[in-house]
Amino acid sequence: MKLSSEPAGKSRELALRRLTETPLDVLVVGGGIVGSGVVRDAALRGLRSALIDQADFAAGTSSRSSRLLHGGLRYLAQGRLGLVREASVEKRTIGQIAPHLAQPLAFLFPGRRGTSWALWKLAIGVKLYDALCGMRNFGHSSVLSVGKARHSLPGISTDGLTGAVRYYDALTNDARLVLDTLRSAEKHGATVCNYTRLAAAERRGDVWRCSVEDVETGTSLELKTRAIVNATGPWSDKLPHANTSLRLTKGVHLVIDRDRLPMADAVVMAEGDRILFAIPWGERMILGTTDTDYTGELAEPSCDASDIRYVLDVTNATFPEAKLVESDLVSTWAGLRPLVADRNGNPSDISRRHEVKMNEPGWWDVTGGKLTTYRLMAEETVNAIARFLANGAVRCETASRPLLEPSEVGHASAIVPPAVSESIVRHYCQHEWVRHLPDLMIRRTSWRHYRRDHLRVASEAASWMADELAWNEATTQAEIAQYTTFCALAQTTTNG
Ligand SMILES: Cc1cc2nc3c(=O)[nH]c(=O)nc-3n(C[C@H](O)[C@H](O)[C@H](O)COP(=O)(O)OP(=O)(O)OC[C@H]3O[C@@H](n4cnc5c(N)ncnc54)[C@H](O)[C@@H]3O)c2cc1C
């Protein structure tokens, strides 16, 4: 367990040493939400567990989502009741075990004549949605007249408008959900290490021998484990011994100032059969998303000019008076959905189901699913591992056990970014595995996406980080320069 007085570098050295010291029961590869859920569950069941990520925790898809805990109202229209029920139960479970990460959010979905979204269909849909949640949804759905819809959605297009329904999901903070899950895992005995990559694995007898690279130094380490979980999301067909088939689709989000679309509730914006969201996020509004097949590089998918055009066009069609243009953007991000392959049909129609498969003795591939269903995916995975390791007696507790104790929640503002302060930067460096500027600016705080002055903040924060992480002047300047270039490139893509 990390002690508050340990320097950040020292605790990483200890974690790396612990990885190799004693053979593990379970090595989880991938520190997105799925891997984090698995390692916490395994640790709570008393398994000797560790998790590694080749980059920062949550650097993949799990910091690039729409940040919703949702059953998926649109899957009802596709008749996927089982999937919606599963996710609806899970969203409530997260609401109970981690209330600081599930802020109830009302959505207004306008009904329009001559479209797939007739008001009467929506009215039945939202009642069913509440029922699939066991009538324990974050709020009760209702139907609004045209007048009330127009009042609640200032500037909404009245084209064919017949009213609206109001239904409920919750807003979360995807990267914070990962980090808090890892904090809990570490507290219960798991070792977690970012910037550590699985390079090779070979099974000898009952044991997997793994070669792991410390990405920070290029050093190679050897470790032994009885089971491995491949939870590498978009990378999951790249690992040795993996037997998965993925279809990757890209989704982008745009961030604008809240006063450009001043609404209290989230809004569903329909474009044909697809739907997009406008989601209030403190002083900002998140617009998204897209769903297009993707074959490019995996680490930093970009939001290109056509993605931006599409999201702005749909938003402007829904709110013609907003007249949003590119210069309204505070920031953008793009993420890749690691969907279980289904070569047919529209990306938006591909199921978000998950798969937990043991391909070789002791090797599990866990793919698909959603942020919302991560806990269930982890439970199924660890159930299977516990059976395999003949350790089946310990039951899963993650559906009822709080993610953090109330005293542990304190420091961070969970949904909306915290205020900039030296103490919070030092806290993240000491307790939350920060190694580089983007770890702080994107995953720990979201300042990069929320604050227009994030470059100034990055430069200020770097001086505090330098102290904590023993950076010399050259390293500090290199970190600032890399962060600035990274953001400028994202901006060029945006403008280009
Ligand atoms: C645009 C978009 C919007 C979404 N919105 C929502 C939403 O609102 N609600 C919802 O419930 N779901 C949503 N999702 C789905 C959800 O975000 C994903 O299902 C989930 O984040 C996937 O998590 P993961 O852990 O499987 O993958 P990731 O988060 O990508 O984690 C995989 C990790 O594996 C690491 N890795 C890869 N190779 C190696 C290696 N060799 N060694 C060590 N580590 C390695 C990577 O660095 C990465 O951190 C959305 C997805 C997208 C793309």
Mean pLDDT of the 294-310 span:
95
137-161: per-residue pLDDT in tens?
Answer: 999 999 999 999 999 999 999 999 9
Ligand 1, atom 50, lies closest to the CA of 65
Mean pLDDT of the 341-356 span:
74
Whether 412 shows a pLDDT value over 90: the answer reads: no
22-31: per-residue pLDDT in tens?
Answer: 999 999 999 9
Confidence at 493, pLDDT banded by 50, 70, 90: low
Please work out whether the CB of residue 181 comes within 6 Å of at least one atom of ligand 1: no
Within 13 Å, how many C-alpha atoms sit on residue 4's CB side?
2
Ligand 1 site-directed mutation target among 27, 39, 66, 276, most atoms within 8 Å of CB: 66
Whether 3 shows a pLDDT value over 50: the answer reads: no
Q: Tell me the average pLDDT of the chain.
A: 94
Please work out whether the CB of residue 290 comes within 6 Å of at least one atom of ligand 1: no
Mean pLDDT of the 23-40 span:
98
Please work out whether the CB of residue 369 comes within 6 Å of at least one atom of ligand 1: yes
Torsional sign, CA 477, 483, 486, 489: negative
- Indicate the pTM of the whole model: 0.97
Segment (H or E) for 36: helix 33-44
210-257: per-residue pLDDT in tens?
Answer: 999 999 999 999 999 999 999 999 999 999 999 999 999 999 999 999
Please work out whether the CB of residue 198 comes within 6 Å of at least one atom of ligand 1: yes
Ligand 1 site-directed mutation target among 34, 51, 63, 65, most atoms within 8 Å of CB: 65
Identify the weakest region by mean pLDDT among 32-46, 74-88, 328-342, 400-414. 400-414
> How far, in Å, is the centroid of ligand 1 from the Cα of 60?
5
Contact present, 458 and 481 (Cβ < 8 Å)? no
131-141: per-residue pLDDT in tens?
Answer: 999 889 999 99
Ligand 1 site-directed mutation target among 83, 177, 370, 376, most atoms within 8 Å of CB: 370
Please work out whether the CB of residue 197 comes within 6 Å of at least one atom of ligand 1: yes
> How far, in Å, is the centroid of ligand 1 from the Cα of 294?
15
> How far, in Å, is the centroid of ligand 1 from the Cα of 368?
9
Give the rounded percent of residues in the chain with a pLDDT score beyond 90: 88
Contact present, 329 and 308 (Cβ < 8 Å)? yes
304-322: per-residue pLDDT in tens?
Answer: 999 999 999 999 999 999 9
Sequence-distant (6+) residues with CB within 8 A of 385 are 25, 26, 42, 47, 227, 229, 364, 391
Domain residue spans in the chain? 8-62+175-245+351-388, 247-335, 417-495
Superfamily of segment(s) 247-335: D-Amino Acid Oxidase, subunit A, domain 2 (3.30.9.10)
Please work out whether the CB of residue 233 comes within 6 Å of at least one atom of ligand 1: yes
Please work out whether the CB of residue 333 comes within 6 Å of at least one atom of ligand 1: no
> How far, in Å, is the centroid of ligand 1 from the Cα of 178?
10
Within 13 Å, how many C-alpha atoms sit on residue 426's CB side?
10
Confidence at 2, pLDDT banded by 50, 70, 90: very low
Whether 496 shows a pLDDT value over 60: the answer reads: no
Nearest to 151 by CA among 106, 115, 123, 110: 110
> How far, in Å, is the centroid of ligand 1 from the Cα of 394?
28
Please work out whether the CB of residue 173 comes within 6 Å of at least one atom of ligand 1: no
Mean pLDDT of the 62-70 span:
98
Beta strand ranges found along 246-362 (DSSP E): 246-257, 266-271, 274-281, 284-288, 292-293, 329-340, 354-360
Confidence at 1, pLDDT banded by 50, 70, 90: very low
Please work out whether the CB of residue 336 comes within 6 Å of at least one atom of ligand 1: yes
Ligand 1, atom 32, lies closest to the CA of 232
Whether 5 shows a pLDDT value over 50: the answer reads: no
How far apart are alpha carbons 66 and 347 in whole angstroms? 17
418-464: per-residue pLDDT in tens?
Answer: 999 999 999 999 999 999 999 999 999 999 999 999 999 999 999 99
CATH number for the region 8-62+175-245+351-388 comes to 3.50.50.60
Whether 387 shows a pLDDT value over 50: the answer reads: yes
Please work out whether the CB of residue 94 comes within 6 Å of at least one atom of ligand 1: no
Confidence at 368, pLDDT banded by 50, 70, 90: very high
pLDDT, residue 244, reads 92
| Highest averaged pLDDT of the listed ranges 130-134, 279-283, 487-491 | 279-283
**Locus of tokens 């070669």:** 211
pLDDT, residue 409, reads 86
Determine the atom of ligand 1 nearest the C-alpha atom of 197.
42
Whether 348 shows a pLDDT value over 70: the answer reads: no
pLDDT, residue 349, reads 63
> How far, in Å, is the centroid of ligand 1 from the Cα of 136?
28
Please work out whether the CB of residue 100 comes within 6 Å of at least one atom of ligand 1: no
Segment (H or E) for 42: helix 33-44
Whether 165 shows a pLDDT value over 80: the answer reads: yes
